Structure 1
Amino acid sequence: MNNALHSADWPRREGLALLTRALGAENIRWVGGAVRDTLLGADVHDIDCATTLTPDVVIDKCASAGIRTVPTGIDHGTVTAVLEDGVVEVTTLRLDVATDGRRATVAFATDWQDDAARRDFTINALYAHPDTLEISDYFGGLEDLEARRVRFIGDARERIAEDHLRILRYYRFQARFGAMLDGEAEEACADMAATLKGLSRERVADELLRLLALPAPGATVARMFERGVLRIIVPEACAAHIKALQTLLAHEADQGVAPDPVRRLAALLPPSPDVAEGVAARLRLSRAQRARLVSAAERLAADSENAKALAYRIGEPFAVDRLLLLGADTAVLTDWTPPIFPLKGGEIVARGVAAGPQVARILQATERQWVEEGFPPQSRVVEILDTLLNQA
């Protein structure tokens, strides 16, 4: 497994070599997701660096090497180094001085193991030397990676008490990496689920949506429901909704549709726009997310009868959501571009209809029939218009 780091591309980036020279190889280690994901053979997106240097020293040394820095989280020891081949978050080793389950007061440290001890899971506490790529593993993270086990560092309840969001992080990581369940973690998360009520809604929503965006979150969400965790954050969900999510995941996979976390959240709710509005408000979803959740909740069985008409009316992404939730085929929308309605109000006025509400009503009626007939050519639109005008 360790050989994966030596064969990976990212440790050989020129920017990282420049950063290593600037800060000193003895003072830094690559840590967290980049190390973990490389060892698992997964794609690496973000690179984090732990350092024994204080933020002010990091900034000075980077400046001397021509590296621009941004004090993105300087109160907690984090400085972002802006390199030509990407950014790297450089964080000073830390100790937790006090925590209340929502935020922590930290002090800078100089011991790598002290820093590792304050992290959440063993698989996230693997430190790689920038030159040798030798891994420092203080809590059995390599063994847990081999077993695909997500395990808290030390006592699970203590780690959760430090930051209640770790409950949802556990389930997200378990859904992404886990194969073997850790009994202590499972019990601790279930027993302390009520502590999630004290967290900001934005943090809860972010973790929930990140979990639902994973390729196969169904089994994990079902377990969260069975253990009473899901009802703390989505009390509207019932056993039938868990089954609906499983069905949706199967339809997405069968039809090759990319996952969407808001669509999957909709599966966990009753098809009620009012409920969707309430959940969106409670979770502080963005305006775009709220609109998508409410649209999915407005689905009707009749929506599956004419997929193109549905997509023309509400937009392709919203239509795909409804069709999948209804168990309908979305293939007809693949590579389909909605046509432009070939009639303007001025053409109706030219036929002798006085400008005003009547023009709008005729235009809408013509368009409605054009959609129902499957978007026929302009010649048919003229016929539809003639018929409506004769009936007026």
Structure 2
Amino acid sequence: MKLPEAPWHTWSGMPRLLRTLGADAGHTRFVGGCVRDTLLELEVSDVDLATRLAPEEVMTRLGAAGIKAVPTGLAHGTVTAVIGGRPVEVTTLRRDVSTDGRRATVAFTEDWEEDAARRDFTINALSAAPSDGEIFDYFGGIDDLVARCVRFIGDPLTRIAEDHLRILRFFRFHARFGGSAPDAAALEACAARANDLMALSRERIADELLKLLALPHPCATVRLMIEQGIFRPVLPEIESANRLEALVGAEQAAGIAPDPVRRLAALLPADPAIAAAVATRLRLSRHKAKRLSSAADRRIDQPEVLAYEIGAEEAVDRLLLAGEPVEGLRALQAWSRPRLPIGGGELIGMGLEPGPIVAQVMQAFEREWARSGFPADQDEVRDLARRHVDQALRDSPKTSASSGGSGAEK
């Protein structure tokens, strides 16, 4: 079987890179996702190469050819070549010497099948010769692609023991490439070893989970993971996929792109404190943690008002999670934050004393201005501000100096 022609074959600098790494002599092949996705007629954005050349020789050859080489993982055999502004990972063939579920000690080899055997799933172990497109399939990956089956290479329990993250990767790949029924042996092994996830760094768990939730249709797989107890050891808060399913439907109806943070919020209870705790546990970035907590606060308002108060991105999250009508959501797609037309100095000019009262009146004015549709007419704005200033002055009158009374007892 031959690899079909694809646009990435002729990326700027790709032919020169392949010549430099001896592809015509059989030293280097396309490997992994670029082969799999081309066979599935999917767009390819990342290309990986596997090579018999030692990493030091890869660096030397790239340097001599004037190709930028970044030693991204020399100890594990990986060099990143930069061609036409694109990174291409070049990794020397390897075999595992030892594994502990989180990392592996490797030795380099020249055996293509030995290198393929250390990969996780059969559909990821395909390689192709750049010279003529011949595909090398040592473990039935092509048949599994046709059958839409995500299957471990070898014994699933052994592969999970080598790298516990493969539990989450199995479900992500099943959501993307699998059919309705998962591979029974793989599913049984993942469920049996779910507690192994506790040994992983929370960053790796978060990365895999967010990749899963970013897929177009993750709901069936997430339900399967809940049923099999996959989340229980590390994210026991996830107990139902019902809100996620409703959110996915709302995103599609509104024509809004999937967002993994928003979808994670749908899987959690509507409690900002719980969302903040999960964000901390998963070590999410500050921006993602803020969004997750905000989405858990399901209080909503008029779309534009909500966007003005908490930002358009977070407003879209809340409105989608609340199942708000599509019209309001679409209005926010082109929405830009209006500029507050009046400042504290103008309130002082209307009679307020400098101090905390100015900020308090400004907040009250700003709320009403937003709920009035953000009027821009200066007379209307000043009348609105004047009403709030006058109300503040009535509520907090100055204390007049007491007049001295004659004959007062002391």
**TM-score calculated relative to the size of structure 1:** 0.95
Aligned partner of 1:155 in structure 2 is: 155
**Conserved in 2, the CA contact under 8 Å of 1:15 and 1:86?**
no
Aligned partner of 1:40 in structure 2 is: 40
Matched, 1:335 2:331: no
Aligned partner of 1:176 in structure 2 is: 176
Matched, 1:213 2:211: no
Aligned partner of 1:65 in structure 2 is: 65
1:14: how far off?
A: 4.3
1:85: how far off?
A: 5.1
**Conserved in 2, the CA contact under 8 Å of 1:122 and 1:144?**
yes
SS of aligned partner of 1:88: strand
**Conserved in 2, the CA contact under 8 Å of 1:30 and 1:129?**
yes
SS of aligned partner of 2:29: strand
- CA deviations 1:219-261 (Å, max 9, x no partner) are 000000001102223201223xx11111111111111111111
SS of aligned partner of 1:206: helix
Aligned partner of 1:195 in structure 2 is: 196
**Conserved in 2, the CA contact under 8 Å of 1:31 and 1:128?**
yes
In the alignment, the residues of structure 1 paired with residue 354 and residue 190 of structure 2 have an alpha-carbon distance, to the nearest angstrom, of 65
SS of aligned partner of 1:82: strand
- CA deviations 1:283-325 (Å, max 9, x no partner) are 111111110011011122xx1x411111100000000101111
1:31: how far off?
A: 0.2
SS of aligned partner of 1:7: coil
1:349: how far off?
A: 1.9
In the alignment, the residues of structure 2 paired with residue 338 and residue 265 of structure 1 have an alpha-carbon distance, to the nearest angstrom, of 27
Q: Which amino acid aligns with 2:19?
A: R
In the alignment, the residues of structure 2 paired with residue 107 and residue 236 of structure 1 have an alpha-carbon distance, to the nearest angstrom, of 41
Q: Which amino acid aligns with 1:196?
A: L
RMSD over equivalenced CA pairs, Å? 1.3
When structure 1 is superposed on structure 2, of 6-15 and 360-369 the one drifting more is 6-15
Matched, 1:311 2:287: no
**Conserved in 2, the CA contact under 8 Å of 1:366 and 1:381?**
no
1:156: how far off?
A: 1.0
SS of aligned partner of 2:168: helix
Aligned partner of 2:9 in structure 1 is: 11
In the alignment, the residues of structure 2 paired with residue 360 and residue 56 of structure 1 have an alpha-carbon distance, to the nearest angstrom, of 64
When structure 1 is superposed on structure 2, of 365-374 and 375-384 the one drifting more is 375-384
In the alignment, the residues of structure 1 paired with residue 349 and residue 85 of structure 2 have an alpha-carbon distance, to the nearest angstrom, of 61
When structure 1 is superposed on structure 2, of 98-107 and 81-90 the one drifting more is 81-90
Q: Trace 1:280-359 onto structure 2 (pairs within 5 A).
A: 280-300=279-299, 303=300, 305-329=301-325, 330-359=329-358
In the alignment, the residues of structure 2 paired with residue 126 and residue 59 of structure 1 have an alpha-carbon distance, to the nearest angstrom, of 25
**Conserved in 2, the CA contact under 8 Å of 1:252 and 1:324?**
yes
Q: Which amino acid aligns with 1:323?
A: L
Aligned partner of 1:374 in structure 2 is: 373
SS of aligned partner of 1:154: coil
Aligned partner of 1:204 in structure 2 is: 205
Aligned residues: 385
In the alignment, the residues of structure 2 paired with residue 122 and residue 89 of structure 1 have an alpha-carbon distance, to the nearest angstrom, of 20
Aligned partner of 1:363 in structure 2 is: 362
In the alignment, the residues of structure 1 paired with residue 385 and residue 12 of structure 2 have an alpha-carbon distance, to the nearest angstrom, of 66
Runs of 5+ unmatched residues, structure 2: 394-410
In the alignment, the residues of structure 1 paired with residue 199 and residue 70 of structure 2 have an alpha-carbon distance, to the nearest angstrom, of 31
In the alignment, the residues of structure 1 paired with residue 380 and residue 197 of structure 2 have an alpha-carbon distance, to the nearest angstrom, of 59
Aligned partner of 1:223 in structure 2 is: 224
Q: Trace 1:75-114 onto structure 2 (pairs within 5 A).
A: 75-84=75-84, 86-114=86-114
- CA deviations 1:59-94 (Å, max 9, x no partner) are 111222222211100000001112225221110100
Q: Which amino acid aligns with 1:326?
A: A
Aligned partner of 2:396 in structure 1 is: none
Q: Trace 1:16-35 onto structure 2 (pairs within 5 A).
A: 16-25=14-23, 26-35=26-35
**Conserved in 1, the CA contact under 8 Å of 2:79 and 2:91?**
yes
Q: Which amino acid aligns with 1:141?
A: G
**Conserved in 1, the CA contact under 8 Å of 2:352 and 2:358?**
yes
In the alignment, the residues of structure 1 paired with residue 100 and residue 49 of structure 2 have an alpha-carbon distance, to the nearest angstrom, of 26
SS of aligned partner of 2:88: strand
**Conserved in 1, the CA contact under 8 Å of 2:62 and 2:69?**
yes
Aligned partner of 1:125 in structure 2 is: 125
**Conserved in 2, the CA contact under 8 Å of 1:15 and 1:85?**
no
**Conserved in 1, the CA contact under 8 Å of 2:210 and 2:261?**
yes
In the alignment, the residues of structure 2 paired with residue 389 and residue 286 of structure 1 have an alpha-carbon distance, to the nearest angstrom, of 41
**Conserved in 2, the CA contact under 8 Å of 1:221 and 1:230?**
no
1:351: how far off?
A: 2.0
Return the structure number with greater helix share.
1
Q: Which amino acid aligns with 1:319?
A: A
Q: Choose 1 or 2 for highest CA Rg.
A: 2
SS of aligned partner of 1:110: coil
**Conserved in 1, the CA contact under 8 Å of 2:11 and 2:84?**
no
1:212: how far off?
A: 0.7
